[in-house]
Amino acid sequence: MDVNQIWTSVLQSMENNINSTVGYKIHVKDAVTPVLFENSVFLIAVPMSINKNMIEFRYKKDIEAALERITGKKINLSVMVSEHTDAEKIIEQKNTPEISSEQFGLDMVNPKYTFENFVIGSSNEYATAAAISATEQPGYIYNPLFLYGNSGLGKTHLMHAMGNRIKENHPDFNIIYVTSEFFTNEFIASLKEFTTAEFRKKYRAADVLLVDDVQFLETKEATQEEFFHTFNDLYSLNKQIVLTSDRKPSDLTVLEERLRTRFSQGLIIDITIPNYETRMAILQKKAEFQNTVISEEVLGYIADRIKSNIRELEGALLKIISMSEMSHREINIELAEEVLKSILPKDGIVKITPDKIMDKVSVYYKITKDDLKGKIKTKNISVPRQVAMYLCKKLTDMNYSMIGNVFGGKDRTTVLHNVNKIEKEMESNEALKSDIKYIIKDLESI
């Protein structure tokens, strides 16, 4: 059975079990593109991170159970967010005969992201320069190269661009790209199947190892241990290692000290928010790539409104283009305004609401929003709840009673107590402080 047939069977067998709720329709049925089934990992792609979160919170177990019924094996479900039609492209490319299947999986470099189509500006010039020079003599210049910055600023793009450039210069090199999540899932699957030897062999045979979003390793202790050994082996053989994260190594406070030290021993460089000129240049390049001519005025209109996330910037542009195609309308300010209205709040200023806080906090701690509003007192839920209340107090105009209301009708003294508790705890608990800092950063970047 191929991956599509399996997915079709999953959907059929799921619907008997799960009520056909709206959530299921939106986040699973309509959103999922099956991508790959390999080594007990079933990978699906969804267009938005909310789909991914919902699947992970609500549907993962049921899907895995269905996968087990269908394949007769224990399967790990892995969910990736793939903007626009990337999932289709991945499948397309995977099925293209010139690219062999072992050459194009999720553990490989995506040819779509290159240095040629990466716009350089002051926000990323050091990162790009470091990335380019590391590709000149992989393993010998900056090792590891550690790139960090907020979501949507081009870390993954740069990483793939490095992989593609090295491939050009060294066609024989074994270049592996993985997200730390994929690495973790594959490792866990290998433990279950007693294939860790093969798993190790695969990663230790890399000439270049690109690991994206290493912040997700923070809570995965066994995987950290495994990754530590992989890292050491490759490092001692002068194999190039590139890592990305949303924070710098010293802010990965939950990560084991020895990994943090390893991550810091090469070059650490950040990517920051692009300025207006860079945003314009990116929009121009992306429009060109879509073979669409768009006036400076319209591009400027977009660049003025979306400032801190290139993924959003690109998303807005693509929405405008597809809107114009669908409705046969010319791309002008009016159309752009209409589309942006659906993306941005009225005044263009991102307003932080309790709902957004709960969204981010629940995603960060991998619990549900209902948990935040509920009464469960176990630490893994009560701490995030206290954090969410603290953030509401800090970032919105709400008073304690109002906050209590949105958290399932708690009284003001409970909220006050919780907020104080977090404030006090932050004085000595560095990990908590860094979690909160991260969530705030995430809330502030649209």
User: Which residues of the shown chain bind Mg ion in the complex (CB under 5 A)?
Assistant: 155-156
- Are 300 and 280 in contact, with CB atoms under 8 Å apart? yes
| Phi and psi at residue 118, to the nearest 5° | -105, 120
CB of 192 to ligand ADP, least distance (A): 30
Q: Which is nearer to ligand ADP, 60 or 285 (CB)?
A: 285
CB of 154 to Mg ion, least distance (A): 8
Q: Which does 189 bind (CB under 5 to 8 A by kind): Mg ion, ligand ADP, none?
A: none
Cα 427 to Cα 130, 235, 388: the distances in Å are 36, 37, 17
| Residues of this chain that bind ligand ADP (CB under 6 A) | 113, 118-119, 124, 149, 151-157, 282, 285, 310-311, 314
CB of 36 to ligand ADP, least distance (A): 19
Q: Which is nearer to ligand ADP, 239 or 279 (CB)?
A: 279
CB of 27 to ligand ADP, least distance (A): 21
- The answer to whether the Cα torsion of 79, 85, 88, 94 is positive or negative is negative
Classify the phi-psi angles of 357: left when phi > 0, otherwise alpha if psi is within -120 to 50, otherwise beta.
alpha
Helix (H) or strand (E) holding 285: helix 276-289
Q: Which is nearer to ligand ADP, 157 or 393 (CB)?
A: 157
Q: Which is nearer to ligand ADP, 280 or 381 (CB)?
A: 280
Interatomic CA distance for residues 60 and 62, integer angstroms: 6
| Token pair in block for residue 278 | 């860079």
128-134 long-range contacts (CB < 8 A, ≥24 apart) are 128/158, 130/267, 130/269, 131/158, 131/159, 131/161, 131/162, 131/242, 132/165, 134/162, 134/240, 134/242, 134/267
Rg, the chain, Cα only: 23
Q: Which is nearer to ligand ADP, 415 or 439 (CB)?
A: 439
Q: Which does 282 bind (CB under 5 to 8 A by kind): Mg ion, ligand ADP, none?
A: ligand ADP
Which position's Cβ is nearest ligand ADP?
154
CB of 394 to ligand ADP, least distance (A): 26
Q: Which does 157 bind (CB under 5 to 8 A by kind): ligand ADP, Mg ion, none?
A: ligand ADP
Q: Which does 267 bind (CB under 5 to 8 A by kind): Mg ion, ligand ADP, none?
A: none
Q: Which does 118 bind (CB under 5 to 8 A by kind): Mg ion, ligand ADP, none?
A: ligand ADP
Amino acid at site 34: P
If one counts every other C-beta atom within 10 angstroms of the C-beta of residue 98, the result is 7
| SS3 category, 200 | helix
Q: Which is nearer to ligand ADP, 156 or 386 (CB)?
A: 156
Which position's Cβ is nearest Mg ion?
156
Q: 59: which DSSP letter?
A: I
Q: Which is nearer to Mg ion, 186 or 212 (CB)?
A: 212
Q: Which does 311 bind (CB under 5 to 8 A by kind): Mg ion, ligand ADP, none?
A: ligand ADP
CB of 346 to ligand ADP, least distance (A): 25
Q: Which does 216 bind (CB under 5 to 8 A by kind): Mg ion, ligand ADP, none?
A: none
| Token pair in block for residue 114 | 């290159």
Q: Which is nearer to Mg ion, 155 or 286 (CB)?
A: 155
